Chain A
């Protein structure tokens, strides 16, 4: 049996001398996949957290504004929410935030900071919302989030005339100092 010719240059083991450019490019290309994936994961995680926080804030703000608007007499409320009336609900929110200043400027600044990402809040009032239930009105408030794709919508059903009557009688009772 013939012995291999170990003196042949092709059969002799070659010693590595550093990495060549192809290997470097291959290493970067292989590492780029997990890197890009981790970037995407971080980005979606931060985006999801921001979305949840904004949505919670928008819900609280809309509830707050709805409580405020429901305190207004029905004719004033309808006038405020009339299309094209030019009344801005964000300025109403700003007025509401300013009321915190006398007791706590820290709370005022904190609430304003939380409300900052919320876009232009819009509202509408649909009288006689359901023909089968006369006198039922629907108040709708919408707050767009900062991603311009999502919004939080709040609907409240109420009877304006009954509400006004009850509140006026309560107010009269309070003005007279009656205990009921």
Chain B
């Protein structure tokens, strides 16, 4: 009888141990999935926040069935600015975000790739595993499909994974406002009608 009680107590302790290990692993995996989502969304937000947005057809491209995005951002070096001082005449070069499938993944994992056309540089965000990503553009309009009559938006939905074979995923979506860029009035006055010295 002593052995049977000992076995019973040990099996209960083992069941709790398994439960604790599973719970800990689950929470760690959720944290990893959230981290993947945050890295991806903040990388895209950083580029979109400094993009030049004047014409939809020229400055913004969404392709690959809503899974890829291309925006035009200012060149990274000031040397490429037209005369070294005029930021409004800076070169704007495309930056493209695409997804690349991970080999032998049970969860259909993908890596986010950021490609700069300017210097043909390709960054693979390896610490950031995604299952999918979707990009939508909402133009400023009073139509029901649009969000705001005065503000255009980019909507990025991201499904993050903890690891390439993990079933734990985290989904979020973020709106990024897209203000139309236009040269401010005082600037135009300075350039077009220079003030003459008396």
> What is the interface of chain A, defined by CB distance below 8 A to chain B?
18-19, 23-24, 27-28, 31, 34-35, 38-39, 41-42, 45-46, 48-49, 52-53, 56-57, 60, 63-64, 67-68, 70-73, 96-97, 99-100, 102-104, 106-107, 110-111, 113-114, 166-171, 173-174, 177-180
Contacts and interface: CB of A to CB of B under 8 A. Distances in A.
Interface string B62-95: 0000100000000000000000000010000000
B177 A106 contact: no
Contact of B173 (A34, A39, A107, A171): A107
A125 B24 CA distance: 40
A171 B140 contact: yes
Interface in B1-43: 1-2, 5-6, 9, 12-13, 16-17, 19-20, 23-24, 26-27, 30-31, 34
B174 A64 contact: yes
B183 A110 contact: no
Given A19-B1, A39-B16, A71 B148 contact: yes
B16 A71 contact: no
Nearest to A114: B171
Interface of B: 1-2, 5-6, 9, 12-13, 16-17, 19-20, 23-24, 26-27, 30-31, 34, 54-55, 66, 88, 132, 134, 136, 138, 140, 147-151, 153, 155, 157, 159, 169-177, 179-183
A46 B170 CA distance: 17
A67 B153 CA distance: 9
A38 B157 contact: no
Contacts of B136: 99-100, 102-103
Nearest first, the 10 closest Cβ-Cβ pairs linking A and B are: A110-B171, A49-B27, A180-B182, A71-B148, A71-B151, A107-B157, A173-B182, A170-B180, A180-B183, A174-B180
B157 A24 contact: no
B23 to A, nearest CB: 5
Q: Which of B31, B172, B173, B181 has the most CB of A within 10 A?
A: B173
B150 A111 contact: no
B30 A99 contact: no
B30 A49 contact: yes
Given A71-B151, A171-B149, 9 more contacts: A34-B13, A42-B20, A46-B23, A60-B172, A99-B155, A100-B136, A107-B157, A114-B172, A170-B182
A111 B20 contact: no
Given A18-B1, A38-B20, A46-B23, A179 B148 contact: no
A39 B30 CA distance: 22
Contacts of B155: 99-100
B175 A67 contact: yes
A179 B54 contact: yes
